[in-house]
Structure 1
Amino acid sequence: MSRLSSFSLCVVVSMACTQVQAETVVPLKGQSSQQIQLDINDCRNVAASQSASTPPPSGGRLRGAAVGAAAGAVGAEVRGRQHDEFYERVDDDVKQEYRQNRAGQTAAAGAVVGGARQRQERRAQQKTSAATSSTAYTSCLQGRGYQVTP
């Protein structure tokens, strides 16, 4: 292979790899262009399978709402008991309605907090997944006899 065609092949391989990341892949064992393309596709699949193994976090809003509702009901009961002389005179239906209202308000706040935490976890997982995918891709190509440079 002439020096010009090797350079052209590296440029083409670099452009083909831009979907995973911007890298230059240089064949060290004289691989053909078909073999290079097969290896790149195989390594992309390896990287994709490793990054897709963990499901994204879900249920954050629901968990937050449940925790908020429980905290609101307990908090309403505690606040009511702080004023025993008045609390004992209040009808049980009114007490129940007060606890339910507080539970509903804190459930809504809990859903917001739970959703925010879920988004933070998802972003962190995406960063970790991208790093794992990049490492897996590079390691796969290096194991098949390529030099991979950023």
Structure 2
Amino acid sequence: MSRFSLTAICMALSLGAGFAGAQTVTPLKGQSSQQVQADINECHNIANSTASTSTPSGGRIKGAAVGAAAGAVGAQVRGNQHDELYDRVDDDVKQDYRQNRAKETAAAGAVVGGSRQRQERREQRRTNESNAATAYTSCLQGKGYQVTP
């Protein structure tokens, strides 16, 4: 088999691996096409195992909790700013006011928390893809291949 056709096979195989777009994998130690395939598969598996499987979660709940606490505290602070009027209000009414403010800010906190969680997941995915591509390329280079984009 000629070197050109082996390189073409390697390039086609590396495209199927899904890492880092179009790559050319050139054997530098005279590896057979079967060995090239085995090495590419092994490096592909190694690269997949380097990806973190944990994803950020609980963002909405955390945001809602923070928002609820902030709303209740804010309601209490606003009430304290008007001591003479606030003191005349029934305790049940004060409690209802604090709870309503907590609910309103909890909803806003859930939206903010969800947005942050999505942003963290996107960043995690980009990091995982970058780490997998680096691991894949490093693995092949360690096995005696030249990897070019």
TM-score bin (small chain): over 0.9
CA RMSD of aligned residues (A): 1.0
Aligned with residue 4 of structure 2, among 7, 10, 19: 7
Q: In the alignment, which residue of structure 2 is the partner of 1:26?
A: 26
Any gaps of 5 or more consecutive residues in structure 1? none
Matched, 1:114 2:110: no
Question: Sequence identity, in percent?
Answer: 69
- Please report the TM-score for the alignment, with normalisation by the length of structure 2: 0.94
Q: In the alignment, which residue of structure 1 is the partner of 2:39?
A: 39
Q: In the alignment, which residue of structure 2 is the partner of 1:142?
A: 141
Moved over 4 A (4+): none
Any gaps of 5 or more consecutive residues in structure 2? none
Q: In the alignment, which residue of structure 1 is the partner of 2:80?
A: 81
- Please report the TM-score for the alignment, with normalisation by the length of structure 1: 0.94
Q: In the alignment, which residue of structure 2 is the partner of 1:127?
A: 126
Aligned residues: 146
Deviation of 1:90 (Å): 0.6
Deviation of 1:124 (Å): 1.1
Deviation of 1:26 (Å): 0.3
CA distance in 1, matches of 2:12, 2:58: 39
